[in-house]
Amino acid sequence: MRAALLLLALAMPHPALAETVTVFAAASLKTALDRVADGFEAATGHEVVISYAGSGKLALQIRQGAPAQVFLSASPNWMEAIAAEGLLEPGTRRDLLGNSLVLIAHDAQAAPITLEPGVDLVTPLDGGHLATALTEAVPVGQYAKSAMQSLEIWDKTAPHLAQSDNARTALALVANGEAPYGIVYATDARAEPRVQVVGTFPAGSHPEITYPEALIAPASDAARAFHDWLAGPEAAAEFRAEGFTVRPAA
């Protein structure tokens, strides 16, 4: 009987072979990245734990010693801040995804707005606020500020902003009707049926929206496997389904 139990135990997958991969990721990645992680877990048996927040907040936590193994930022600037501390696994940083910047409305009947120099974004607010993320710290807010400066409407519009701590919180302000309009990523708008896109900011009005990804040193085998999975066809299909642009592998 003991021999049979021993043989059964040896035949079963050893739980020690499964590892947990801790990922820090920009909040705007949640819908797609949750599905990417599910696919990886099903294929490998490893567990993926993802902490979502604004990229600047995540970068600060990593610099302070938070146990992240993989970092996906919505801006190269915050990845560079991590690299400057010597915290990246050499040779693993890459530009993974792209996105675009849009103006959204809560009202399903809101008219389209042409986002051109001098456009008036204050009057449509009707006393409300224009939601976006923190314009000095969170990438989508930084892109929004750059776009408004490029269109020469920053000084007029800035006093009417409602700034939140990440892209998805800004999206929720509009979805819940707490702000009539907002500036978010196109992928966020796509993930939320309670908002509609009323305008797309010209690509040249703000820095190119790039999501870099890298391993934090020292990288475990499971973290390396997830890093590879992120650049694979299964992950690419999930990202494209949510409207991200998938960058070609270097």
pLDDT tens digits, 59-69: 999 999 999 99
CA-based torsion, 168, 169, 174, 175: positive or negative: positive
Q: For 101-205, which CATH class?
A: alpha beta
Is 244's pLDDT higher than 60? yes
pLDDT tens digits, 89-130: 999 999 999 999 999 999 999 999 999 999 999 999 999 999
Task: Output the known binding site.
Answer: 28, 55, 185
Task: Output the known binding site for molybdate.
Answer: 28, 55, 185
- List the domain boundaries for the chain: 21-98+209-246, 101-205
Q: For 21-98+209-246, which CATH class?
A: alpha beta
